[in-house]
């Protein structure tokens, strides 16, 4: 073990995870629950009923001041000016070459914006924003003081109804609201990373345990279970949601990653990386991120070579056993000529070539996602 490495952090819910018998593993500088009872039962609970996640390792950066929207227009690829108050938006930070610094969610809130970024990129993102921050715009890293709990699944709204004093039926997908939990005002949104209906709750650290306990109590009648990062990964992979460090990083471009839909070159303000994105759109990407299903009983893993007719055409970025489809599934970058749905490819697993088929994502379509 590296003696110079920073000690792992615990989230405000660490004691709850231990009491529930979670298996904790290092992740992005934190000790995080990888599973409680098992990845497959936790995955299936979210798909059929409801599950709850501790995501307090994620980063929250607050932006305030005059010129806030113009600053965010320059720093992010999506059109922030199109957001109404309390609306959220998936977006990207790009470098000048069009590489993805991070993917994030932007919340347009009264008198401020909240940027939710990946745990491993908090310091990098904050430094990037600070280096471009104009006079009049104020940044604050709220990550260490903010807990994040996600409630996801077909019965998520029923659980949330018992927690907050809001009419949840009026909150649309990627919209947020403020409500009261344990006598304190908190922010929550109809967002998630599972493909199911659900909510994400942002609250002060001291409210994390009371909120977690209240949600478990309210959700008992709906079959709620705590869910670890293992099932979070299988759930997101079934939806072909990109994971930073796997599908996207500073060497990948939005067009090849299938994220062109969150890049708006025609929005009112220019953004960092725009010229590189426009150039790739005009030229066309030489590779594309695809979803594939194994034709035989095998589980692909990140890093496995992808071949076509014996020639290497790319590599797997994420792979797993899909609990919903009961087969091996994965994502990976391949040469564009092999990216069309129906294309036959081979995944090299332990020196064995195993046939697979490129499909049109997602892998699962009958979800409760609104």
For residue range 272-295, list pLDDT tens digits in order: 999 999 999 999 999 999 999 999
- What gap in Å lies between CA 263 and CA 284, rounded to an integer? 15
- Distance, first Cα to last Cα, the chain: 45
- Tokens 């709750």 locate to 201
Lowest mean pLDDT across 122-126, 169-173, 338-342: 169-173
Using one digit for the tens of pLDDT, what is the confidence trace for 22-43?
999 999 999 999 999 999 999 9
pLDDT(370) > 80: no
Which residues on adjacent β-strands are paired with residue 113? Answer: 63, 108
Q: Which residues pair with 151 in a beta bridge?
A: 52, 199
- The overall average pLDDT reported for the chain is 96
Is the predicted pLDDT of residue 182 greater than 80, yes or no? no
- pLDDT of 185 strictly over 90: no
Q: Which pLDDT band holds residue 268 (cuts at 50, 70, 90)?
A: confident
Whether 3 shows a pLDDT value over 60: the answer reads no
**Helices and strands of the chain, counted as H and E runs:** 8, 20
Instruction: Write down the pLDDT at residue 14.
Output: 98
Supply the pTM of this predicted model: 0.96
What residue ranges define each of the domains in the chain, with the CATH number in brackets?
9-55+145-237 (3.30.1360.120), 286-364 (2.40.30.110)
pLDDT above 80 (res 4)? no
Please report the pLDDT score of residue 199 as a whole number.
98
- Evaluate if residue 135 carries a pLDDT over 60: yes
Q: Is the pLDDT of residue 95 over 90?
A: yes
Please give the average per-residue pLDDT across 177-206, as a whole number.
93
Q: Which two tokens stand for residue 273?
A: 């990386």
Phi, psi of 159 (to 5 degrees): -65, -45
Report the length, in residues, of the chain.
Answer: 370
Tell me which residue of 6, 4, 13 sits closest to 29, measured CA to CA.
6
Average pLDDT over residues 110-126: 97
Q: Mean of the pLDDT values across residues 74-89?
A: 98
If you average pLDDT over residues 116-124, what whole number do you get? 98
pLDDT band at 165 (very low <50, low <70, confident <90, very high): confident
**How confident is the model at residue 183, as a pLDDT?**
77
Overall average pLDDT of the 301-316 stretch? 97
pLDDT band at 184 (very low <50, low <70, confident <90, very high): confident
Give the Cα separation of 174 and 189 in Å (integer). Answer: 7
Q: Residue 1: is its pLDDT beyond 70?
A: no
137 three-state secondary structure: strand
CA max distance for the chain: 63
CB 190 within 8 A of CB 172: yes
């Amino acid at each position: 073990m590296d003696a110079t490495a920073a000690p792992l952090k615990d989230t405000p819910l660490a004691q709850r995870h231990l009491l529930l018998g979670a298996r904790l593993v290092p992740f992005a500088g934190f000790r995080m629950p990888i599973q409680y009872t098992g990845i497959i039962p936790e995955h299936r609970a979210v798909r059929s009923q409801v599950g709850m996640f501790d995501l307090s390792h994620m980063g929250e950066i607050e932006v305030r001041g005059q010129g806030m929207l113009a600053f965010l227009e320059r720093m992010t690829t999506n059109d922030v000016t199109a957001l109404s108050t309390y609306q959220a938006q998936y977006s990207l930070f790009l470098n000048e070459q069009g590489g993805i610094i991070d993917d994030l969610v932007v919340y347009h809130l009264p008198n401020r914006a909240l940027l939710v970024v990946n745990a491993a990129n908090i310091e990098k993102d904050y430094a990037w924003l600070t280096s471009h921050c104009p006079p009049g715009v104020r940044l604050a890293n709220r990550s260490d003081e903010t807990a994040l709990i996600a409630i996801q699944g077909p019965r998520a709204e029923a659980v949330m109804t018992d927690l907050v004093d809001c009419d949840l039926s009026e909150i649309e997908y990627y919209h947020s609201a403020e409500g009261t939990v344990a006598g304190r005002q908190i922010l929550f949104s109809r967002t998630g990373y599972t493909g199911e209906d659900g909510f994400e709750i942002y609250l002060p650290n001291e409210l994390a345990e009371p909120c977690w306990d209240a949600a478990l109590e309210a959700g008992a009648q709906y079959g709620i279970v705590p869910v670890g990062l293992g099932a979070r990964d299988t759930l997101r992979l079934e939806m072909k949601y990109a994971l930073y460090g796997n599908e996207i990083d500073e060497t990948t471009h939005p067009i090849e990653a299938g994220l062109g839909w969150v890049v708006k070159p025609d929005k009112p303000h220019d953004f960092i990386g725009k010229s590189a994105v426009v150039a790739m759109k005009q030229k066309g990407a030489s590779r594309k991120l695809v979803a594939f299903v194994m034709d035989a009983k095998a589980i692909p893993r990140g890093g496995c070579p992808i071949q076509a007719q014996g020639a290497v055409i790319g590599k797997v970025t994420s792979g797993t056993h899909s609990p919903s489809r009961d087969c091996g599934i994965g994502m990976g970058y391949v040469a564009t000529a092999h990216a069309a749905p129906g294309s036959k490819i081979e995944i090299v697993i332990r020196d064995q070539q195993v046939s697979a088929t490129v499909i049109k994502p997602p892998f699962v379509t009958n979800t409760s996602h609104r």
